[in-house]
């Protein structure tokens, strides 16, 4: 008899778990993304936040990798006047480059400043979680090359995925939770 859980395929929810403690700000993720996705020079789909505090010699610095949060409740999708920004079943928020007329309203609406204008595509663009790779079973390019192994990627809805297990065992938080975006990026609290 079939396992009931396999009868109805569970909905996927792709997401990131970032370990700030393992990020060394080398920016390999940024370069890898630029190459993989042919991001125009001067624009970027992912980035690293620096949290700095203190006065010499008592200093603190934390690195927080970030990219599009692929929010469940995505402000960019909400405000798009042509429906170019849309949700896929697995939680990905994507841009239909043909439908985008480039009003940039989504760029205003994104609390994470994750979007940019791609002049050549004549459309607004952003991190896709490397959907083209994902669909053939490969992780996003930034995850693959992260030499600190700070970026973890997987199905948040699968309790046995690495990301779910990390969340189950570590104290974590999200960025701008108050914006109610239901982001798909979690941060493991620093030691």
Partner 1 sequence: MIEFLQMTDSKKIIIPTLSRRHFMGLGAVAGGAALLNKFDLLQPSLKPNHQNPKSLYPPVDFDREVYTMCEMCVWRCGVKAKVKDGVVRKLDGNPFHPHSRGMLCPRGQAGVATLYDPDRLKYPLIRKGERGEGLWARASWEDALDYVASRMLEIKEQYGPEAMVFSSTHNLIQTQFENLLKAYGSPNYGTQRSLCFNAMITANLLTYGMEEPSRDYSQANYIILTGRNIMEAISNSETQSLVAAQARGAKLVVLDPRFTKTAAKADLWLPIKPGTDLAFHLALLNIIITENRYDAEFVAENTVGFEELKASVAGYTPEWAASKCEIPADTIRQVAREFAIAAPNAFAHPGWRTSNFLNAFQTARSIGALNAIIGNWDQPGGFFASSGHDGGVALGSVPQPPYPRVSAMRLDGVPWKYPLVPLKLGVFQEIRDAILTGEPYQARGWFIFRQNPVNSLPERHKTMAAMSQLDFIVTTDISMNDTAWFSDVVLPEATYLERFDPLHVLGNTVFIRQPVIEPLFESKPGLWIFKELGSRLGLADYFQYDDEEDYIRQQIAPLGITLEDLKQRGYYTAPTHQEKNGHEVYTFNTGSGKIELASEALRNSGFAAVPKWDAPITNDADQFYLLSGKVAQHTQFATHNNRLLHERTPDNPLWMNPIPAQQRNLQDGDMVWVESSGGKVKTPVHVTEKIRPDSVFMIPGFGHVSKGLTTAYGSGVSDSDLHVTYTDPISGSQALSQTTVKVYKAEEGS
Partner 2 sequence: MEHDVHFHWNMLIVIYLFTAGVSAGAFVISGLATYLGGTRYKRISRIGALIAPWPLMLGLFVLIFDLTKPFQFWWLFLTIQWTSPMSIGTWLLTAFSILSMLYFILWIPRPWRDLLRVPHSTADIFQPRQWRLMTREMVGISRRVIAAIGFPIGLGVGMYTGILLGAIPARPLWNTPMVAQLFLFSAMSSGVATVLLIAAFTPPKDGHDHLLHERHFLVTVDTVLIVLEIFVIIPFFLHQSLNTWSSAESMSLIMGGPFTLVFWVGVVLVGLLIPLAIEGFELFPVIWKEAAVKYSRLWGGLSAVMVLIGGFLLRYVLVYAGQMSHFLPMLER
Q: Is 61 in the site for partner 2 (CB under 8 A)?
A: no
Q: Is 173 in the site for partner 2 (CB under 8 A)?
A: yes
Q: Is 31 in the site for partner 2 (CB under 8 A)?
A: no
Nearer to partner 1 by Cβ, of 144 and 158: the residue is 144
Q: Is 80 in the site for partner 2 (CB under 8 A)?
A: yes
Tokens matching residue 6: 């396999």
Q: Using CB atoms within 10 A of its CB, is residue 44 exposed (0-12), middle (13-18) or buried (19+)?
A: buried
Q: Is 122 in the site for partner 1 (CB under 8 A)?
A: yes
Which residue is associated with the tokens 């043909």?
A: 98
Nearer to partner 1 by Cβ, of 111 and 148: the residue is 148
Q: Is 159 in the site for partner 2 (CB under 8 A)?
A: no
Nearer to partner 2 by Cβ, of 156 and 175: the residue is 175
Taking the CA atoms of residue 29, residue 66, residue 61 and residue 28 in that order, the dihedral angle to the nearest 10 degrees is 0
Among residues 155, 132, 139, 165, the alpha carbon closest in space to that of 9 is found at 155
- Distance (Å, whole) CA 151 – CA 122: 30
Q: Is 81 in the site for partner 1 (CB under 8 A)?
A: no
Q: Is 189 in the site for partner 2 (CB under 8 A)?
A: yes
Which residue is associated with the tokens 């490969």?
A: 138
Q: Which of 31, 79, 165, 166 binds partner 1 (CB under 8 A)?
A: 31
- Asked if 152 and 136 count as a contact pair (C-beta separation under 8 A), the reply is no
Neighbours of 8 (CB within 10 A): 7
Stretch of 7-15, 18-26, 66-74, 163-171 contacting partner 1, by CB under 8 A: 18-26
Stretch of 33-41, 126-134, 137-145, 168-176 contacting partner 2, by CB under 8 A: 168-176
């Amino acid at each position: 008899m079939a396992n009931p859980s396999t009868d109805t395929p569970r909905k996927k929810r792709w997401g990131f778990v970032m370990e700030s403690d393992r990020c060394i700000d080398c920016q390999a993720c940024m370069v890898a993304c630029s190459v993989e996705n042919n991001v125009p020079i001067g624009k970027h789909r992912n980035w690293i936040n620096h949290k700095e505090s203190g006065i010499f010699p008592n200093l603190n610095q934390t690195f927080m990798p970030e990219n599009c949060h692929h929010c469940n409740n995505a402000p960019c999708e909400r405000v798009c006047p042509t429906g170019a920004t849309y949700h896929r079943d697995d939680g990905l928020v994507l841009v239909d480059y043909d439908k985008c007329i480039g009003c940039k309203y989504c760029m205003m609406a994104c609390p994470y400043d994750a979007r940019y204008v791609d002049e050549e595509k004549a459309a607004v663009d952003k991190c896709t979680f490397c959907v083209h790779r994902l669909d053939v079973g490969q992780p996003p390019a930034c995850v693959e090359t992260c030499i600190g192994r700070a970026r973890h990627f997987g199905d948040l809805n699968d309790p046995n995925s690495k990301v779910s297990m990390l969340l189950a065992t570590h104290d974590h938080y999200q960025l701008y939770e108050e914006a109610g975006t239901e982001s798909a990026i979690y941060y493991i609290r620093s030691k």
